[in-house]
């Protein structure tokens, strides 16, 4: 039981950190490419 739980918890911690770091990057990229994104209506759906 314990040996299966450790990799699972490690993976969840990794995903949590990845999410925290991805949000600011996503916002930066969205701002940088705002003019292109605004031209594409699919991004607003």
Q: Looking at residue 45, what is its pLDDT?
A: 59
pLDDT tens digits, 18-38: 888 898 998 999 899 999 888
Cα 43 to Cα 30: distance, rounded to the nearest angstrom: 11
Cα 39 to Cα 42: distance, rounded to the nearest angstrom: 9
CA 43 to chain centre: 17
Residue 1 has pLDDT above 60, yes or no: no
Q: Looking at residue 29, what is its pLDDT?
A: 92
Q: Looking at residue 2, what is its pLDDT?
A: 58
pLDDT tens digits, 2-18: 577 888 888 889 998 88
Query: Is the whole model's pTM more than 0.95, yes or no?
Result: no
Contacts of 30 (CB under 8 A, 6+ apart): 37
């Amino acid at each position: 039981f314990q040996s299966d739980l450790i990799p699972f918890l490690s993976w969840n911690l990794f995903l949590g950190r990845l999410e925290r770091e991805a949000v600011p990057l996503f916002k930066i990229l969205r701002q940088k490419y705002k003019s292109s994104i605004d031209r594409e209506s699919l991004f607003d759906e």
